[in-house]
Amino acid sequence: MILVQAQGLEASRPGRVLFEDLDLTISDGDRLAVVGINGTGKSTLLGVLAERIEPERGEVRRGREVEVAMLDQAPRLHGDTLGEALRHELGAGAWEVEAVADRLGLGGEFGAEVGKLSGGQLKRAALARALVSGARLLVLDEPTNHLDVDAIDWLEDRLASHTGGLVMVTHDRHFLDRVCTRILELDHGRAHVHEGGYAAYLEHRAERARAAEVDQARRANLARRELEWLRRGAPARTSKPKARVASATELVNQRVERDIRADELPLHRSVPRLGDRVVELHGVGHGFDGAGPVSERSGSGASGSGDPDETANPARMLFEDVELLLDPRERLGIVGPNGSGKSTLLDIIAGRLEPTEGTVEFGSTVRVGVYDQQGSDLDDSLRVWEVVAGPGSEPDWTHKSLMEAFWFDSDAQWAPVGTLSGGERRRLQLLVTLAASPNVLLLDEPTNDLDTETLRALEDFLEGFPGAVVVVSHDRAFLERVVTDVVVLGDGSAKRTPGGYAAYEAQRRALRAAGKAHARRPPGRSGASGRTPDGTSGRAAPEPGGPERGVDRGPSPSTLRHRLRAAQREVEKHRTRRDELAAALEGTREHGDLAELGESLARAEADLGEAEEEWLGIADEMERRGLKLQ
């Protein structure tokens, strides 16, 4: 059934067309993601499809009796408490609202006053409202923002079971691959539709870029020959139209529209060098008394910063006895469920919050840069280049290169801040942080409201960044690319886990699988046979017409591909470590060093063997199921 049909849509901003002549049909079962850099009109298009925004041209027709539920970037709730607002607006059973809200991390918050909810809580509540609305078409703008990893996993499954249509904007690349079947890309005022998930979109985009380069080269050669002919010959030919000469010259010099940034960001050379001592935490703990936080921090509570509900449970410690020494080239992620204290710990590392207990020491060369969810205040009357260069300063070549690398071209650099979209403002706030040339970067949910192109540019920047990086994020792809170790918060503890996000994810999934297996075990089960005392298997009979319960159908193809890529990275990491140790062993003659390097090399060989076995196991499973190893 066709849910929404759009024809000839057009929208623009001053001096720029967002999209034009756009045709789109959404039917039951469609899973469409809208992608593009910030400011290309993604949220505008969602608003048009949901009939909240009137297009400048074109029309949107909705199917008969088709309801649309929309999650926008700045949702509002009406009511005294969260529970009243949701139940009143939805008219749904309390059990369903509470179940969904609990899955999204709002358990125990139904009595909270709406006016005191943080931005993250409002977003999650609005998402719960959309999910239980019963609408055939869901239009979701950044639904994974402010969700922890478990909630994102649950949301993926929930949306997969939705029988209607789905249109969404998201920066979460794993989410795109698992949920979406089509991707609509907005680029330079045009719309391109790609069948498949995020990986297919990247392949199609690369093919389009290659085709554009070939076509441009062909047209430029034709124009060059015409230009040579126009300029050649006797004075009798001087009457040839100047317009044709100018047109041919312009075509020869024309460039293909810039695609994904390929050059290196310029600020690495200006980052001050860090000494051996960076930031050290000794015996650090933080908690709340009965009246709220023991030490109030800027941006907590209703501001919508990192852990929006850390003040929800008074008289408790978020974490205790944290010992943490940052390395000059640290790549550390802070992970854990919402409310566990991730942003609080980051604020303590930044020196913006005094811990309840313990000490924080900073090296003399440390220059901290913080990019948090609240972001720096931006003066709407200033132009982009004035914000990046700083008050009273002219932008130098590094500022201009940085702005261009993050898609603020020469025209956008002169745009007033007040005309920027929400995503463009976040991108500008990121530029302000990087332009200050910090040598310790603290990033709190940096992926929220940033497009995938900017995320890849940021990941490239961090890969070569010569200082320390600490990240709080729920974005799995970002963590996999950026961090090498993680600190896991939860239940009052903070544990450092080597191996990066992949190791943490493996542990988390193993624990969750063990918990599910225990929960599925029927009463009275004994022994390894898995049978109940009456001799039956203990498995419930399948519901009529439904799938058999308890049958393990294995992970999805996208999950297997993700695991294979993660295993490949582990193999490459351990192989590099093995080769480095082998080279060091060959180059030393000290007896003590030889013994130590030999032990380390043996451990590295064992780690490499385990990683290769893991890769082979996943590859065998994929080949058995007829899946390509890519």
CB 412 within 8 A of CB 438: no
Q: What share of the chain is helix, strand, coil (3-state, %, to 5)?
A: 45, 20, 35
Q: How far is CA 366 from the centre of its chain?
A: 28
Structure tokens at 425: 């403002």
CB 136 within 8 A of CB 3: yes
Q: Between 3.90.1150.10, 3.40.50.300, 3.10.20.30, 1.20.140.10, what CATH number should domain 2-200 receive?
A: 3.40.50.300
**Which one-letter amino acid corresponds to residue 473?**
S
Taking the C-alpha atoms of residue 142 and residue 422, their distance in angstroms, rounded to an integer, is: 12
What pLDDT, on a 0 to 100 scale, did the predictor assign at position 408?
Answer: 84
Query: How far, in Å, CA of 91 to CA of 528, rounded?
Result: 47
Look-up: residue for tokens 């093995």? 578
SS (H, E, C) 261-308: CCCCCHHHHHCCCCCCCCEEEEEEEEEEECCEECCCCCCCHHHCCCCC
Contacts of residue 103, Cβ cutoff 8 Å, sequence gap at least 6 = 151, 154, 155, 158
**pLDDT score, position 553:** 55
Q: What angle do CA 174, 47, 196 make, to 5 degrees?
A: 30
Question: What per-residue confidence (pLDDT) applies to 312?
Answer: 42
User: Using CA atoms, how far apart are residues 39 and 51, in angstroms rounded to an integer?
Assistant: 20
One of 3.10.20.600, 3.40.50.300, 3.30.420.10, 2.60.120.10 is the CATH number of 271-502, namely: 3.40.50.300
Taking the CB of residue 448, how many other CB atoms lie within 10 A of it?
22
Alpha helices in 104-197 (DSSP H): 119-131, 149-160, 173-179
CA distances from 453 to 176, 202, 217, 420, 543 (A): 14, 11, 26, 17, 46
DSSP string of 191-249? EEEEESSHHHHHHHHHHHHHHHHHHHHHHHHHHHHHHHHHH-S-GGGGGS-HHHHHHHH
Amino acid at 119: G
Q: Which of 100, 214, 86 is nearest to 147 (CA)?
A: 100
- d(C-alpha 195, C-alpha 382), whole Å: 41
Report the pLDDT value the prediction gives residue 263, as an integer from 0 to 100.
46
Q: One fold for both 2-200 and 271-502?
A: yes
Query: What is the predicted pLDDT for the residue at 102?
Result: 81
Low-confidence ranges of the chain (pLDDT < 50): 92, 234-240, 255-256, 258-265, 290-315, 519-552
Rounded distance between C-alpha atoms, residue 307 and residue 326, angstroms: 22
**Residues 371, 425: contact at Cβ < 8 Å?**
no
Nearest to 380 by CA among 408, 431, 416, 411: 416
Domain residue ranges in the chain: 2-200, 210-268, 271-502, 555-630
